[in-house]
Amino acid sequence: MPERLHLVVAERDDLTAAVARFVLRDPDGAALPGYRGGAHVTVTTPSGQRRSYSLVDPGGRAPQQYVICVRRDPGGRGGSVSMHDDVHPGDVLEVTWPANNFALKRAKRYLFIAGGIGITPIRAMVGELRARGGAQIELLYLTRSAEETAFLDEFSEDGTLLHHSATSGRLDLWPHLEHPDDDTRIYCCGPTALIEEVLALTAHWRPSRVHVEDFAGVDALGGRRTPFTAVWAPTGQRIEVPADKSLLNSLRSGGVDVDGSCESGTCGTCRLRLLAGEADHRDLVLTGQERADHVMPCVSRALSQEITVAPTAP
Ligand code: FES
């Protein structure tokens, strides 16, 4: 289980009609656990859902506050609407320690591509790199319109290529991605369509140079689904996973307490060890190497008739 904090909402304001910014602090003014750009925290919303949000300020060892931005998504599963409608200054929220699946790796040059609310981790990463100095940074920030652009003023004056599709159409990314360069790392965060486009246009790049974070995540019950049996290694309990239920929810129904947050394969919270059997990996978190002995049960299933899983820590 990730460690939890109880933080007070010190400030709340609206960056756009749909994006609200929340500043979270320790009620007694204590410093908070440190983090690096690209990190996220998981917040328990007043509606009881757990949702992961990127920390938008540059990281540090002992920050005084965490700042998150939440885009209201009326068609979503309710977490963002609850954050918008039910969270007010003075409220206390349960928040996990920061985790980071989108960490900055060393490079001479960085190309950041942010789509919409995907600017949130990238703002922290760019801020951190600029403070450190020495690296060449290019940022493409794609939104629908100026009105829907969080941090518009900030990114209007710092050399960012701001592109609004409502007035300028789709941005052609090819000129930015045409020439592979081992000294460059690409970080892209945004909607699935943008991620897929960037991955397609960088197929000729070395995979280790391209990093993506997909907020939309994976549909837990999408794609091919067949029933299988999960064996919970600590007790030997056998749990049937039907075609219409995720491995995570089947384990929970069987009385196994497995933590989860995004339930869409993006946050890394539900990670289990894979001890036996063949997993059908669908997450956006694990590296190819990690997939040999780990599985994300919120979205991944089994290719074999049975898989054996265990917690990552005893
Ligand atoms: S709960 Fe987020 S990856 Fe599984």
The preferred substitution site among 50, 296, 301 for testing ligand 1, maximizing ligand atoms within 8 Å of CB, is 296
Q: Are 148 and 16 in contact (CB under 8 A)?
A: yes
So what's the pLDDT on residue 51? 84
**Which residue from 44, 251, 261, 301 has its CB within 8 A of the most atoms of ligand 1, so it is best to mutate?**
261
**Atom from ligand 1 closest to the CA of residue 52:** 2
SS3 per residue for the chain: CCCEEEEEEEEEEECCCCEEEEEEECCCCCCCCCECCCCEEEEECCCCCEEEEEECCCCECCCCCEEEEEECCCCCCCHHHHHHHHCCCCCEEEEECCECCCCCCCCCEEEEEEEHHHHHHHHHHHHHHHHHCCCEEEEEEEECCHHHCCCHHHHHCCCCEEEEHHHHCCCCCHHHHCCCCCCEEEEEEECHHHHHHHHHHCCCCCHHHEEEEECCCCCCCCCCCCCEEEEECCCCEEEEECCCCCHHHHHHHCCCCCCCCCCCCCCCCCCEEEEECCEECCCCCCCCCHHHCEECCCCCEECCCEEEEEECCC
Q: What is the pLDDT of residue 265?
A: 84
Contacts of 240 (CB under 8 A, 6+ apart): 227, 229, 230, 250
Quote the ligand 1 centre to 262 CA distance (angstroms).
5
Measured CA to CA in angstroms, residue 54 lies from 119, 184, 254, 258, 272 at distances of 9, 23, 32, 22, 23
Worst-scoring range by mean pLDDT, 56-60, 138-142, 209-213, 275-279?
209-213
For a pocket test of ligand 1, which of 51, 101, 258, 262 has the largest count of ligand atoms closer than 8 A to its C-beta? 262
Backbone angles phi, psi at 51, to 5 degrees: -130, 140
More confident site: 50 or 243: 243
What CATH class has 109-214? alpha beta
pLDDT reported for residue 284: 75
Predicted pLDDT of residue 305: 96
Tell me the pTM.
0.78
Provide φ and ψ at 67, rounded to 5°: -120, 125
In this model, does residue 39 exceed pLDDT 90?
yes
Q: Ligand 1 mean position to 8 CA, how many Å?
A: 25
CATH 2.40.30.10 fits 4-96, yes or no: yes
Q: Token match 């699946």: residue?
A: 101
**What's the pLDDT at 207?**
87
Q: What is the pLDDT of residue 260?
A: 83
Question: Atom of ligand 1 at shortest distance to CA of 262?
Answer: 2
Q: What is the pLDDT of residues 153-187, one digit of tens each?
A: 999 989 999 999 999 999 999 999 999 999 999 99
Please check the confidence at residue 224 and state whether its pLDDT lies above 80: no
Share of the chain above pLDDT 70, in %: 96
- d(CA 275, ligand 1 centre) in Å: 19
Range of lowest pLDDT (64-73, 118-127, 210-219): 210-219
Q: Which amino acid is at 152?
A: L
Mutate to test the pocket of ligand 1, among 41, 102, 247, 270 (most ligand atoms within 8 A of CB): 270
Q: What is the mean pLDDT of the chain?
A: 92
228-311 maps to CATH 3.40.50.720: no
Please check the confidence at residue 41 and state whether its pLDDT lies above 60: yes
Q: Which atom of ligand 1 is nearest to the CA of 266?
A: 3
So where are the chain's domains?
A: 4-96, 109-214, 228-311
Between 38-52, 86-100, 126-140, the lowest mean confidence (pLDDT) is in: 38-52
**Is 70 exceeded by the pLDDT of residue 104?**
yes
CA of 53 to the centre of ligand 1 (A): 13
pLDDT at 215 over 90: no
Binding pocket residue ranges, ligand 1, CB within 6 Å? 260-263, 265-270, 283, 285, 296, 298
Give the tens place of pLDDT for each residue, 240-275: 999 999 999 999 999 999 988 778 887 788 999 999
Cβ–Cβ < 8 Å for 115, 142: yes
pLDDT digits (tens, 9 = 90+) for 68-88: 999 998 877 788 999 999 999
Rounded to the nearest angstrom, the distance between the alpha carbon of 75 and the centre of ligand 1 is 20
Q: What whole-number percentage of the chain has pLDDT above 90?
A: 77
pLDDT over threshold 80, residue 216 = no
Q: How confident is the model at residue 219 (pLDDT cuts 50, 70, 90)?
A: low
